[in-house]
């Protein structure tokens, strides 16, 4: 029998409330996530968002839901066209480079794969069909080969952004569309007739040779990949079903998601999305990140500085999604220490198991201690319950560290049978976190190292700094590096520097 999932609540930008998620189809959450515009390497702001989406997806799965997710790739809009023209390559070749990088980054950061990654350029036929329907229903009109959404035809236009239609500024849809003739300056483009700068990037349509606007692709691809609206390859407005969840960064609430609602509800006459979930922005050193301010990073930049993917993942996932994340290099250094702490803990457990396995005297099969089992199970329950409350990752992480600290305090009484239960608990938490390295090799660090660390801790307590430093040097000789933090000391295998060969 299938287990009933744990109740999950999330902040819905539409109702502005924290709501219980009740999927349309029992236990299956259909989720559409606005994906990258593939014109540049993803920056760490994008990465914060993709890590958030991953935590959301993994949490739902851990709580007992099945997730069906589509993440779109925006491969035709002003920036991708400009980039391809500048490099004098085809749009496909230009966007492939950045699409590849996006997928590599997801892999590096241990982000789970979505079920679908549709591209706008592979859905032009469906986009044209969708626009045709909008015209038929009186929500769109054609002018000089361009097609616009008629905002005044959709009463609920401001329901997500909270902006009344009448308060929208005259050039609300942005500078990029000013060059087009519209009935109303607030209307936005669904189809853009070819302009000379587009070169050979255009498709035939009933209105002109041209290309889709940005917003329409998400209405089309969400309906196509997550509902029955495109059954048998044709748009069927009767078979659309409200999609459970839609994610994006807060910058997308207006105009992108506002326009998506107008398009989809205009065509289907039904609620488009039940739960809108938006992730706050990332700042760098307290400021907006920008190339010109010199505080702009991609994942590659951070890896080149020597930070590990797991520390980077930790630095991005540890802030609540509704909070702005202030990224600093110092935070990343701290994150690196956190990962070392987790590794030390797993090492300690693996070492107990290894020792028990290698003992020559046969021991009676012992059972794990009831108390330890309970500590582990309670920690997992607490961890899941905290995530189930609007994805409270900071508190869930605290629960995990509390668990680690409790076990560390009882280190001397932990036996092999107990460690397996402790590892089970950690593995359950890691289904969401994706941070642990459970396969660490233990044979290349001898017991003497731990005796020395203990001796040094005692020396430090007595403020015998001379002895502490001497032991630090001794351990360095053995290839072990020590990291002293306010609370405790961690150790790690020193990185061996390979001499670069001279060319
Ligand atoms: P883009 O590639 O610009 O279309 O953005 C992809 C996703 O990243 C969108 O959901 C954006 O809202 C999100 N995003 C862009 N900049 C940031 C930022 N500084 N912090 C967090 N998310 C961002
Ligand atoms: Zn979108």
Q: What is the pLDDT of residues 200-243, one digit of tens each?
A: 999 999 999 999 999 999 999 999 999 999 998 899 999 999 99
Ligand lying closest to the C-alpha of residue 249: 1
On average, the pLDDT of the chain sits at 93
CA separation for the pair 406, 375 (Å, rounded): 9
Q: What is the chain's Cα-based Rg?
A: 27
Which residue segment(s) compose the domain that 488 sits in?
447-493
> Could you tell which of 38, 249, 296 is best to mutate to test the pocket of ligand 1, judged by most ligand atoms within 8 Å of the CB?
249
Residue with more model confidence, 492 or 34? 34
Average the pLDDT over 451-475 and give the result: 93
pLDDT exceeds 90 at position 182: no
Pair (200, 269) in one structural domain: yes
CA separation for the pair 5, 61 (Å, rounded): 9
Pair (183, 257) in one structural domain: yes
pLDDT exceeds 90 at position 140: yes
Centre of ligand 2 to C-alpha 219, Å, is 8
Ligand lying closest to the C-alpha of residue 251: 1
pLDDT exceeds 80 at position 172: no
The number of folded domains in the chain is 3
Nearest CA to ligand 1 atom 17: 45
Inside any domain, residue 331: no
- The share of the chain scoring above pLDDT 70, in percent, equals 94
Nearest CA to ligand 1 atom 12: 249
Domain boundary residue among 227, 257, 279? 279
**What is the number of the ligand 1 atom nearest to the C-alpha of 251?**
12
| Contact in structure between 94 and 34 (CB atoms under 8 Å) | no
Task: Provide the whole-model pTM.
Answer: 0.94
Q: DSSP for 104-118?
A: HHHHHTTPPPPSB--
- The share of the chain scoring above pLDDT 90, in percent, equals 83
**Counting every residue, how long is the chain?**
503
> Confidence band (pLDDT; 50, 70, 90) for 362?
low
Pair (241, 352) in one structural domain: no
Contacts of 315 (CB under 8 A, 6+ apart): 327, 331, 332, 335
In the structure encoding, which two tokens stand for residue 465, read together?
A: 């700094």
Pair (234, 378) in one structural domain: no
Ligand lying closest to the C-alpha of residue 261: 2
Backbone dihedral angles phi then psi of residue 417, each to the nearest 5 degrees: -65, -35
Centre of ligand 1 to C-alpha 4, Å, is 34
| Residues 309-342: tens digit of each pLDDT | 999 999 999 999 999 999 999 999 999 999 999 9
In the structure encoding, which two tokens stand for residue 258, read together?
A: 């506002």
pLDDT exceeds 90 at position 503: no
Centre of ligand 2 to C-alpha 254, Å, is 11
Pair (399, 467) in one structural domain: no
> Confidence band (pLDDT; 50, 70, 90) for 356?
confident
Would the CA dihedral through 80, 180, 132, 268 be positive or negative? positive
Pair (351, 453) in one structural domain: no
Q: DSSP for 58-79?
A: HHHHHTT-EEEEEE-BB-SSHH
pLDDT exceeds 60 at position 302: yes
Pair (401, 453) in one structural domain: no
pLDDT exceeds 60 at position 401: yes
At 175 the pLDDT is 43
Pair (390, 469) in one structural domain: no
Among 434, 390, 172, smallest CA distance to 279 is for 390
The neighbouring-strand residues paired with 30 are 68
> Confidence band (pLDDT; 50, 70, 90) for 176?
very low
CA separation for the pair 416, 402 (Å, rounded): 21
How many C-beta atoms lie closer than 10 Å to residue 496's C-beta?
A: 6
> Could you tell which of 34, 49, 260 is best to mutate to test the pocket of ligand 1, judged by most ligand atoms within 8 Å of the CB?
49
Nearest CA to ligand 1 atom 19: 45
Centre of ligand 2 to C-alpha 289, Å, is 22
CA separation for the pair 396, 402 (Å, rounded): 10
Pair (209, 150) in one structural domain: yes
Of 183-187, 296-300, 392-396, 471-475, the poorest mean pLDDT is in 183-187
Pair (455, 424) in one structural domain: no
Centre of ligand 2 to C-alpha 68, Å, is 17
Per-residue burial over 400-415, b = 16 or more CB atoms within 10 Å of its CB, e = otherwise: beebbeebeeeeeebb
Residue with more model confidence, 475 or 365? 475
pLDDT exceeds 90 at position 299: yes
> Confidence band (pLDDT; 50, 70, 90) for 251?
very high
Centre of ligand 1 to C-alpha 459, Å, is 50
Pair (420, 469) in one structural domain: no
What is the domain-level CATH number for residue 245?
3.40.50.620
> Confidence band (pLDDT; 50, 70, 90) for 164?
confident
**What is the number of the ligand 1 atom nearest to the C-alpha of 325?**
20
| Residues 429-451: tens digit of each pLDDT | 999 999 999 998 877 888 899 89
Ligand lying closest to the C-alpha of residue 52: 1
Inside any domain, residue 466: yes
Inside any domain, residue 484: yes
| Contact in structure between 228 and 241 (CB atoms under 8 Å) | yes
pLDDT exceeds 50 at position 498: no
| Residues 29-83: tens digit of each pLDDT | 999 999 999 999 999 999 999 999 999 999 999 999 999 999 999 999 999 999 9
Per-residue burial over 249-261, b = 16 or more CB atoms within 10 Å of its CB, e = otherwise: bbebbbbbbbbbb
Pair (454, 418) in one structural domain: no
**What is the number of the ligand 1 atom nearest to the C-alpha of 252?**
12
At 379 the pLDDT is 98
Centre of ligand 2 to C-alpha 279, Å, is 14
| Cα within 13 Å of Cα(447), Cβ side | 3
Domain boundary residue among 237, 261, 279? 279
Ligand 1 pocket, Cβ-based, cut-off 6 angstroms:
34, 36-37, 45-46, 48-49, 74, 248-249, 251-252, 279, 281-282, 289
Inside any domain, residue 338: no
Ligand lying closest to the C-alpha of residue 252: 1
Centre of ligand 2 to C-alpha 34, Å, is 4
pLDDT exceeds 70 at position 118: yes
Inside any domain, residue 220: yes
Centre of ligand 1 to C-alpha 49, Å, is 6
Inside any domain, residue 351: yes
At 443 the pLDDT is 78
**What is the number of the ligand 1 atom nearest to the C-alpha of 288?**
19
Centre of ligand 1 to C-alpha 279, Å, is 9
Domain boundary residue among 405, 433, 461? 433
Ligand lying closest to the C-alpha of residue 253: 1
CA distances from 130 to 91, 147, 212, 237, 493 (A): 23, 12, 11, 10, 58
- Between strands 140-143 and 146-149, the pairing is antiparallel
Inside any domain, residue 306: no
The neighbouring-strand residues paired with 142 are 147
Inside any domain, residue 330: no
Region of residue 491 (left: phi > 0; alpha: psi -120 to 50; beta: else) = beta
């Amino acid at each position: 029998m299938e287990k009933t999932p744990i109740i999950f609540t999330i902040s819905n930008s539409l109702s502005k409330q924290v709501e219980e998620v009740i999927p349309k189809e029992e236990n299956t959450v259909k989720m559409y996530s606005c994906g990258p515009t593939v014109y540049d390497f993803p920056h760490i702001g994008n990465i914060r968002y993709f890590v958030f989406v991953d935590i959301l997806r993994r949490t739902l799965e851990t709580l007992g839901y099945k997730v069906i997710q589509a993440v779109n790739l925006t491969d035709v809009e002003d920036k991708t066209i400009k980039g391809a023209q500048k490099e004098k390559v085809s749009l496909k070749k230009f966007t492939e480079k950045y699409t590849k990088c996006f997928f590599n980054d997801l892999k590096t950061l241990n982000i789970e794969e979505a079920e679908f990654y549709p591209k706008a350029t592979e859905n032009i036929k469906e986009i044209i069909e969708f626009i045709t329907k909008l015209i038929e229903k009186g929500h769109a009109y054609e002018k000089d080969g361009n097609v616009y959404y008629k905002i005044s035809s959709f009463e609920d236009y401001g329901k997500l952004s909270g902006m009344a239609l009448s308060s929208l500024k005259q050039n609300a849809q942005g500078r990029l569309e000013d060059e087009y003739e519209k009935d109303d300056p607030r209307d936005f483009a669904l189809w853009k007739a070819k302009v000379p700068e587009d070169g050979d990037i255009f498709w035939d349509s009933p209105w002109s040779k041209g290309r889709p606007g940005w917003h329409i692709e998400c209405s089309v691809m969400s309906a196509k990949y997550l509902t029955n609206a495109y059954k048998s390859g044709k748009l069927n407005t009767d078979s659309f079903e409200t999609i459970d969840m839609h994610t994006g960064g807060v910058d997308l609430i207006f105009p992108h998601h506002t326009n998506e609602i107008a398009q989809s509800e205009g065509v289907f006459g039904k609620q488009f999305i039940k739960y809108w979930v938006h992730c706050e922005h990332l700042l760098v050193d307290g400021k907006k990140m920008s190339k010109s301010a010199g505080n702009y990073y991609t994942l590659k930049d951070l890896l080149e500085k020597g930070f590990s993917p797991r520390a980077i993942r930790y630095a991005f996932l540890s802030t609540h999604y509704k909070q702005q994340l202030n990224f600093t290099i110092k935070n990343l250094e701290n994150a690196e220490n956190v990962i070392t702490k987790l590794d030390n803990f797993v090492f300690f457990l693996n070492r107990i198991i290894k020792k028990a396995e290698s003992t020559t005297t046969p021991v009676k099969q012992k059972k794990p201690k009831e108390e330890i089992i309970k500590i582990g199970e309670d920690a997992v329950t607490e961890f899941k319950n905290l995530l189930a409350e609007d994805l409270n990752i900071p508190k869930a992480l605290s629960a995990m560290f509390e668990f680690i600290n409790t076990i560390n305090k009882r280190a001397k009484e932990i036996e092999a049978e107990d460690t397996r239960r402790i590892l089970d608990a950690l593995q359950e938490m890691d289904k969401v976190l994706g941070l642990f390295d459970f396969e660490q090799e233990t044979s290349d660090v001898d017991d003497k190292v731990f005796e020395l660390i203990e001796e040094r801790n005692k020396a430090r307590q007595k403020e015998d700094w001379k002895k502490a430093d001497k032991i630090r040097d001794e351990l360095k000789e053995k290839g072990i590096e020590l990291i002293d933090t306010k609370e405790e000391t961690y150790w790690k295998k020193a990185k061996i520097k390979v001499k670069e060969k001279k060319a």
